[in-house]
Amino acid sequence: MSGTPAARTSSQIVRRPESVPGQRLLAEAMDACKRFPGDETQLSRLYSAHLCRAALLECAGAEPCDYETLLVLSGHATAFAYHPQRYQPLYVTPDPADQVDARLAGATGYRFEPLEHAGDSAGAWAAIRDSLDAGKPVHGVWLDNLVFCGYDEPGDIADRRLWVAGGWDPPGWWSWDRFDKWAAEFGLMERVAGRCQCVPAAETLREVVACMVRCADSDPRAGVTFLDHAVYGLAGLRAFVRDMADPSRRPDHWNAGWLGGHCVYRQLAGRAPAARYLLGSADTGPASAGPYLHAAAASLTAASEAWGAWGKWLGVESGVTDAEDLRLLWLQGANRRKGAEHAREALRHETEAARQLGLALARLGA
């Protein structure tokens, strides 16, 4: 896609009532966020930051703006970070944030900007209110990402409310007390700044494939001080499989997020979307790269299927979703052996996908 997307018309924005204090709700933002999955098992497979950004881009009129596209553009679709007791690195994009944002802007035609405020709850409220008055929903940025879609501002500060979606709760109103605590602890926000020029699809494809190759063999996060405790890419997958296959590793070796699958699914659920992206974009690059992109897509699809088979022994595909029951699965030697078998198969496919992506990149001109 190239060119500059059309802007939303004023008729597509729910206007704030004339009375002040008043209430303002952005109907399109609320509708977009109501499509967020409400089931915890589904949410464990998704990055909430990309869900929230997709909702904001949809409201702005961007195309493409779906979750899978953002997942691929971010680099998360084929990345992997492993530390048995920690999980924070998996939420950080492999490439630096400014590089990811530039890639996202070039592909969608819209850029994000930080929403600055005075630093306290009153300042955060004012920034959100002013952005909503301008027809722009706000993304609250942290591990459990949020979208602020509306506000209710009666005369008493204690009675203020914000309509919020995201996190683990159903969409709905937040009290002032809840927002006050959130703003004090987190308070980082962004919104869609406006339109920008798209880059040619072939350029985006080249950047995405280059990122995939980096994620496999030289993930940039490994060089960041507060992230260098984890093992990344194919090396991280090998370490995960090795630990899984080691009968001396008791379940307590892992943080509960690994046993419950949150740390696994959120990362590995991107393989199938990555394959679809490569298949859908192969024709935008040089013809010589096409066979390698198709081969990489086939390997990523096979890896996704193998991880699904892994889940039948050590994940939610077994029919078990309770955290303690999942821990019991990991206690059973037969489950660990079968799970490791399928994980080794997945690793073989992931390794082959990385090889094919490297060959494709050489023909994409990077």
Classify residue 70: in a domain, yes or no: no
Residue 241 and residue 181 in one domain: no
Classify residue 349: in a domain, yes or no: yes
Residue 229 and residue 316 in one domain: yes
CA distance 189 to 211: 26
Answer with the one of 136, 169, 195 that is the final residue of a domain.
195
Answer with the one of 195, 228, 256 that is the final residue of a domain.
195
Residue 240 and residue 282 in one domain: yes
CA distance 169 to 182: 14
Q: Hunting for tokens 């296959």 — which residue is that?
A: 245
Closest CA to 27 of 1, 8, 50: 8
Residue 159 and residue 299 in one domain: no
Find the helix or strand (DSSP H, E) in which 99 lies: helix 97-108
Residue 90 and residue 14 in one domain: no
- pLDDT at residue number 366: 58
Residues 70 and 53 sit within 8 Å (Cβ to Cβ): yes
Closest CA to 188 of 265, 97, 266: 97
- pLDDT at residue number 7: 41
Residue 55 and residue 114 in one domain: yes
Residue 80's CB is within 10 A of a number of other CB atoms, namely 28
DSSP notation for 123-152:
HHHHHHHHHHHTT--EEEPSSS-EEEEEEE
pLDDT, average across residues 224-234: 96
Q: Is the pLDDT at 3 greater than 90, yes or no?
A: no
CA distance 25 to 170: 17
Residue 31 and residue 133 in one domain: yes
Residue 316's CB is within 10 A of a number of other CB atoms, namely 17
Least confident of 94-98, 153-157, 192-196, 211-215: 153-157
Residue 114 and residue 61 in one domain: yes
How many domains, the chain?
A: 2
pLDDT, average across residues 226-250: 96
Amino acid occupying residue 42: Q
Residue 120 and residue 266 in one domain: no
The predicted-structure confidence for 74-108, as pLDDT tens digits, reads as follows: 999 999 999 999 999 999 999 999 999 999 999 99
Q: Which of the two residues, 303 and 322, has the higher pLDDT score?
A: 303
Task: Report helix, strand or coil for 172.
Answer: strand
Classify residue 79: in a domain, yes or no: yes
Residue 71's CB is within 10 A of a number of other CB atoms, namely 23
Could you tell me the pLDDT band of residue 2, with boundaries at 50, 70 and 90? very low
Residues 137 and 55 sit within 8 Å (Cβ to Cβ): yes
Q: Hunting for tokens 């093992």 — which residue is that?
A: 231
Residue 249 and residue 299 in one domain: yes
Range of the structural domain that residue 151 is part of: 1-65+110-195
* C-alpha distances in Å from residue 203, one per residue of 198, 199, 268, 366: 10, 7, 25, 10
Task: Report helix, strand or coil for 192.
Answer: strand
Q: Is the pLDDT at 326 greater than 90, yes or no?
A: no
Residue 297 and residue 149 in one domain: no
Residue 103's CB is within 10 A of a number of other CB atoms, namely 22
Q: What is the model's pTM?
A: 0.90
Residue 100 and residue 44 in one domain: no
Answer with the one of 141, 168, 195 that is the final residue of a domain.
195
Token couple for 289: 């790269």
Q: Which of the two residues, 170 and 111, has the higher pLDDT score?
A: 111
